[in-house]
Amino acid sequence: MVNVSDEIVILKDAIKEHGSKNSDGHSSVAYGILFDKTANTLEALNGTLRAAKKQKKVAFDAELLMMPRDKDVQVVLLED
């Protein structure tokens, strides 16, 4: 069983690798790209996103992100 903090590290690395810096200097990536790039590494992307959001490590403008509806929603990394 993978623990949540390990999954958050994978999530943060994926945002840094596949995203770009936004106007605030934070790494940001569209949910659709994140979904595609982490499909093989994060089984429960939404669970990891919610845990990371609760810990104030990421931010996004939705309660729950769903494909394909939210593919363009930006997921912002708040801390490196």
The per-residue pLDDT for range 16-69, each reduced to its tens digit, is: 999 999 999 999 999 999 999 999 999 899 999 999 999 999 999 988 999 999
CA separation, residue 33 to residues 2, 3, 17 (Å):
22, 23, 11
- pLDDT of residue 13 exceeding 70: yes
Higher pLDDT, residue 39 or 2:
39
Q: 1-12 burial by CB neighbour count: b if 16+ within 10 A, else e?
A: eeebeebbeebb
Structural domains counted in the chain: 1
- What is the extent of the structural domain holding 21? 4-77
Q: Give me 15's structure tokens.
A: 């945002």
Q: Kindly report the CATH number assigned to the domain that includes residue 15.
A: 1.10.10.1540
Q: What CA–CA distances, in Å, run from 59 to 2, 10, 46, 62?
A: 23, 16, 13, 9
Q: What pLDDT was estimated at residue 73? A: 97
